[in-house]
Structures are given as C-alpha cells and as structure tokens.
Amino acid sequence: MGPRLRKLALSLHLTCSVGWIGAVLAYLALGGRAAISHDVQAIRSSWTGMELIGWYVIVPLALASLFTGLVMALGTKWGVFRYYWVLISFVLTLFAATVLLLHMPTVSATSELAGELEGDRLEELGGDLFHPGIGLLLLLAVQVLNLYKPPGMTPYGWRKQQRESAAR
C-alpha cells in the first residue's frame, strides 16, 4: 500500500474507531438516564435513543472499524498475525463487534417493551450499562494497545522475518 493510500486508510480507521468510542459514550449516557430516572417519558426516550444509536451509529462504526483495521493490517508491514499487539487488537475488536451484534436485538426488544409498559414496570427496565461499559473498556484497551504498540512478535511473525532476512 502506497503512502497516500495508507494515510487515507489510517484516517478512515481512526475516524471509525474513535467514533465508535464516542457513540458508546453517548449510548452509556442514555443508559444511565434510563437507569436512574423515574420519568416515564425519559425512560422511553432513552431506550428509543439507545436503539437508534446502536443500530445506526455504533454497529456501522464497529463494522467499519473492524474492516478498516483489517485493511491496515494486511496493507502494511504489521500484518494480522506478525505482532501480538495487532493480533490482540484484532481479536478484541472482533469480539466486541460480535457481542454488539448479538446484543442489539435485545436492545430493540427492550426499546419496544419500553414503549408498551407503564409506571413501575417501566422503571424496572433500568438502563443498559453492563454491555456498553465492558465494550468501552475493551475499546479503550485496543486504543492504548494500538498507540503504544508493545514489542513482541508471534512465532509466525518471527519465522516470516527470518525467511525475509535469509532471502535478502
């Protein structure tokens, strides 16, 4: 991948990744509001907002982040399997995106339920804090890992480096 294309891919990847983190923060704010509010409209609107942010912002950003990260790994010297930090970042991102996709139907069902319930039954729904909270921690761990790039090659990366050195 040439320098211009690499910079474009990196810009897209950073935008999607940081956007994913920001969208999760917005989702958490709505989840917190739903968890502590006693106002029926506030709870309903929070769940509606969480469903909309989830499907139309977080899911697309998560998939785009996963895809652009894979493009960056495959198109640069880092590779997907050469360095532990890249492999761990990829696995954590894949895990977070998978959990997200599996969790979103529950968010949609709860949002629909929030529209139907009244009073105390609606307050019992609470907010959605556990999944996005853990997701945020995972995303921040990936961000730190990608920023600091700790040394350490996988056995595959070591063998590939040895072959490339011998070929030169």
The yes-or-no verdict on residue 126 having pLDDT over 90 is no
Query: Rounded to 5 degrees, what angle do the CA atoms 82, 138, 140 make?
Result: 90
Domain count, the chain: 1
Cα torsion through 28, 104, 147, 81, rounded to 10: 160
Rounded mean pLDDT of the chain?
95
Q: If you search the block for the tokens 């495959």, which residue do you land on?
A: 74
The yes-or-no verdict on residue 123 having pLDDT over 90 is no
Q: What is the pLDDT of residue 16?
A: 98
Instruction: Please state the rounded mean pLDDT for residues 104-131.
Output: 92
Query: In the structure, what pLDDT confidence band is assigned to residue 94 with cuts at 50, 70 and 90?
Result: very high
In our burial notation (b when 16+ CB lie closer than 10 A, e otherwise), range 113-139 reads: ebeeeeeeebbebebbeebbeebbebb
Range(s) of the domain holding residue 23: 3-167
Instruction: Please state the rounded mean pLDDT for residues 124-136.
Output: 93
Q: What is the pLDDT of residue 61?
A: 98
